Chain A
Amino acid sequence: MDKLRKIFSLDSLIVPLVAILLGLLVGAVVMLLGGYNPLVAYSALIQRVVGNPYDFGETIRQITPLIFTGLAVAFAFRSGMFNIGADGQVLIGMTTATSVSLLMTGVSSNIVVPLAVIAGGIAGGLWAAIAGYLKAKRGINEVITTIMLNWTALYLSNYVIRHFFLMKGQNRSEDIGASAAMTFLGGIFNNARVHWGTVIALLAAVFFYVYLWKTKQGYEMRAVGFNANAADYAGMNVGRNVVKAMFISGVFAGLAGTFEVLGVFHYQSVFAASPGYGFDGIAVALLGMNHPFGVVLAGSLYGVLTYGSAGMSFAAGVPPELIKIIIGSIIFFIAAQGIVRFVLKPFYLKRKKEKVL
C-alpha cells in the first residue's frame, strides 16, 4: 500500500495533471484565435466520448493499442533504451496474426485466436530483439536500427499481404474468420468493436509493474537501464538484458497489432505509409512518465482526445487536427516540467505560508 501511495504521490501526479490543464488551455487559446468557442468544443468532445454506449466502446477500442505501444516504449525506456520501432513491431505482430489466422481458416476461433495472439506477440518481440541484438553485440544505437526496422517491417508486411493473402481486386487481405471481439458485450456497447485486447493490455500493464519491480530479472533490467557499467561490474549479463528488454517491449507492441486485426478490423490493409501506432506510443509513454499505470492513464487520455476530436469537429466546427495541438502542448509541458513548476510556484508558496500559520 505504501508503494502505491508513493507512485501516486502528489508530485508525480500533479505535474502531468497541470500539464494537461495547460495543454487544454493552449488549445482553447488557439480555438479562440480561430474564432471558435472552446467551451462548446470541449463539451462536444466529452459528449462524443460518453454520450452513448457505442461511442464509449469505440473510445475503449481507440485506447487499447495506445496502451500497448505506450507500454512497449516505456518498458524499453526503463531498461535504458529508446524503442522508436514500436510501429514496425506493431506491423509485424499484425501481419503474423493475420497470416496465422488466414492459414487456419475454418478452424474454431477458440483455437485460432490464442495461437494468433501468441504468434503475433512473439513475432513483434523477435522483431524488436533484432535491434537489441545489434546493440548488444555490435554496439549499434537502437534508435537508428529501430527506425530502419520500421521501414523494413512496413514493406515486409505489405509484401506478405500482397503475395499470399490478397483479396482479389482490393488492396487488403482476405477477411479473417476468427475474432477476439467480446461479442457478449455487444449488447451493452451497441455493437462497438470492443475486444479482449483491452483486458490483455491492462494485464500487460500489471505484468510490466510486477516484472520490473518485483522479480529478480526486473531488478537486473533496471540496473542495466540505470547504469550498465555497474551492472557489468556486478556480474550481470548486460547484452542479454538488452536483448530481453527489447523482446518484451516488442511483445507489447506486437500485441497491439495483433488485436487490431483480430479484434477490430478482421483484415489487414496494404499500408501506403506507416500507421503510426508506435509513434503515438512514444507520446503516451512520455505522458505516463514511463510507469505502467501512468501509461494506462495516458493512453486513455490520448484515446479520449483522439476519438472525441471527431465530435468536436462535428458539433463545434473545430477541425479535428486541433487535437494534435492540444496533445502536442501537453507533451511539451510534461517534457518542460520547469514551466509547470513555475506555474505551480505561487501555490506551493501559499501552502507553505499556511503551514507556518
Chain B
Amino acid sequence: MSTAATVVELKQITKSFPGVVANDSISLTLRKGEIHALLGENGAGKSTLMNILFGLYQPDHGTIEINGKQVTIDNPNKAIKLGIGMVHQHFKLVQPFTVTENIILGMEPKKGLNIDYKSASAQVAKLSEQYGLQVDPNAKIQDISVGMQQRVEIMKTLFRGADILIFDEPTAVLTPQEIVELMAIMKRLVEEGKSIILITHKLKEIMEISDRVTIIRRGKVIDTVDTNNTNPNELAAKMVGRDVTFQIDKQEPAAGEPVLQLNEVKMQNKDGIPVLNGLNLQVRAGEIVGIAGVDGNGQTELIEAITGLRKINSGSIKLSGKEIANLPVRKIIESGLSHIPEDRHKHGLVLDFSISENMVLETYYKHPYSKSGFIDQKTVDRHAEELVEQFDVRTPSIYTKARSLSGGNQQKAIIAREIDKNPDLLIAAQPTRGLDVGAIEFVHRQLIEQRDKGKAVLLISFELDEIMNVSDRIAVIYEGRIVGEVRPQDTNDQELGLMMAGFMEQGGQSHG
C-alpha cells in the first residue's frame, strides 16, 4: 500500500465560521486504491473538510493537491471534473424519476435534441455490471429501497467519471443487510482502482473495511493510523478524547407498577392491510423494555398508536391506568408521555425554528412560557439556556436555527426537551441513529437515568447491540405482534435473530 501514489493531498486546511474554527490546519493524504476513514464526533469538522474538497466551501488557508497538482476547487462542478464524487448522507435524487434518469441528470447523452435513453440505459447497465451495483434502471426512485437509492447515488458519481469517492456517513440510513452489501461494493470499487474517503463514526465499519483512519477532534487532526495497528477502544478514546465504555454499567431494575399496557391492539394501514395484529405489551415503572425486530414489522405503527399519531382499529392502550387509545396527541402528552421520535427532522424539530423555540414545542401553551395568550420570550429563552447547558447541546447560541446544528446536537436538544417534561413514560425510537459513540453513550446514560428515577422507558431500535445493552427486558416484534419476551442476560444475538425472523415463538415466559 505504501508504494501507491497519492491522489489527494490536503495541506494545512483551515476554515472558520463565525464563532468556530471548523478545520484547524488539517492535513490528509489519500492514496490510490485505499479506503481512508475519517473518524470524528458529530460536529468535529469532517463534513466541513469534505465540503471543501468537493468545492462547496472555500478554505481560509491551505492547499489542495489532486494527483500531485495544486488546484483550486471553487464549485462542485470543478470537483467533478477533477474526478471527485460525493455520496451524500441525505440522497439528492428526484423521486418520481427513474434510476437511469437520475443517473444521467445534468449530463444526458443527446441524440439531436432528444435524450438518448437507449445509450443511457446501456451505460448504466455497463457500470452496474462492472462494479457489481445491482439496480433496476427503469424503477422509479420512490419505489426502491434506501439501499438501492444509495447505489444510484454511487452510480451517479461513477457516471461522471469519479475516481475519488467521498462517502458521507453512508451506513446511517441502511439496514444491517444493506450495510453488508455496501461494504462489498466499496471493496469492489477499490479493486477497480477507485480511492475512497469514508466519513463515519461507526468503529465497527472502520475496523472492517478501511485501510487507514484519520481521527479528527474539534477541528484538529489527532492522528492517522493504519487500521491493522489499532483497535476500536483506542480509536474511540482518540475520537472522544477520553476513555469510552461500550458496556453500560447499570443496576438491577426495580420494576414497579405497570405504566403502559397494550391489550390486543389492532391497526390497519390505509390500504386495509393489518399492520398491528393484536399486540400485547406492558412496560412497568423503572424498567427499560426494548423492542427488537426487523424494520417494517410494525415498530413505527406501534409508536404511532401509543403517541396518538395514528388511530387504532381495536384494542386498548392504557397509560398509568388511563385509557389513551385514539385520544388527541396533546391529551396523551399531557397524560405523561415523552417521545424521542424516529425521524428527528420530520417529527422531532421544526428545523427553521431556533433552538429556543424548539425547546418548547410541546409546552409553549402552558404557563410560564405563555401568559395570557402571549409567548414570554424571556422565560422561553432562559429555559432553553438551561437545557442547552444541562444537556451539553453544542450550539453557537439558543437563537441558532435547529437546521444548522449537527445531527448529534439536534438529537441532544430533542432528548433535553423530552426528558425535561418529566414524563411517566419515555418512548425512544432509534434514539442513537447517526450518532457518534460519545453521543450514543450520552443517550444510553440518559435512558438508564430515567429508568432509575422510576420512569417507564420503551426503546425501539434496529441496533441489536443497543437493545441488548440497554434493555431490562426485550420484546420481539414480528408481523405486528410481540412474539416473545426475553431478558438480555438469558439470550444471545442468534436466538433473538431467529425470533425476529419469525422462526421461534416464545410466549411471554419472562413476565413477572
Q: Residues of A with Cβ closer than 8 Å to B? A: 214-220, 222-223, 226-227, 229-237
Contact = CB atoms under 8 A, between A and B. Distances in A.
Interface string B323-356: 0000011111110000101000011111111000
A148 B353 CA distance: 33
Contacts of B373: 215-217
Interface size class of B (residues with CB under 8 A): 20 to 34
B357 A234 contact: no
A217 B347 CA distance: 20
B357 A230 contact: no
B353 to A, nearest CB: 7
Given A233-B329, A235-B362, 4 more contacts: A214-B375, A216-B369, A233-B309, A233-B339
Interface of B: 307, 309, 328-334, 339, 341, 346-353, 357, 361-362, 364-365, 369-370, 373-375, 377
B387 to A, nearest CB: 16
Contacts of A215: 373-375
Contact of A220 (B328, B341, B346, B364): B364
B350 A231 contact: yes
B370 A235 contact: no
B374 A223 contact: no
A230 B330 contact: no
Contacts of A218: 375
Nearest to B362: A234
Q: Determine the main DSSP class of A at the interface with B.
A: helix
B351 A234 contact: no
Nearest to A216: B370
A242 to B, nearest CB: 16
B375 A216 contact: yes
A214 B373 CA distance: 9
B17 to A, nearest CB: 15
A54 B475 CA distance: 80
Contact of A219 (B328, B339, B347, B357): B357
B469 to A, nearest CB: 27
A219 B330 CA distance: 16
B328 A226 contact: no
Given A216-B375, A227-B351, A232 B329 contact: yes
Pick the most buried of B309, B362, B374: most chain A CB atoms within 10 A of its CB. B374
A214 B374 contact: yes
Nearest to A236: B330
17 contacts: A214-B374, A219-B364, A220-B364, A222-B350, A223-B353, A226-B350, A226-B351, A230-B347, A230-B350, A233-B339, A234-B333, A234-B362, A235-B331, A235-B332, A235-B334, A236-B330, A237-B330
B328 A237 contact: yes
A216 B365 contact: yes
Given A216-B370, A230-B348, A235 B364 contact: no
A176 to B, nearest CB: 36
Contacts of B331: 235
Contact of B361 (A214, A216, A217, A234): A234
B307 A233 contact: yes
Contacts of B307: 233
B350 A227 contact: yes
Nearest to A227: B350
A180 B128 CA distance: 73
A223 B375 CA distance: 14
A223 B361 CA distance: 8
A219 B352 CA distance: 12
Contacts of A220: 364-365
Contacts of B365: 216, 220
A236 B339 CA distance: 15
A240 B370 CA distance: 19
A217 B332 CA distance: 20
B346 A230 contact: yes
Nearest to A210: B374
A235 B328 contact: yes
B364 A230 contact: no
Nearest to B352: A226
A167 B331 CA distance: 57
B333 to A, nearest CB: 5
A220 B373 CA distance: 12
A215 B365 CA distance: 9
Nearest to A224: B350
Contacts of B334: 235
Nearest to B304: A233
Contacts of A236: 330
A340 B345 CA distance: 31
Contacts of A217: 373
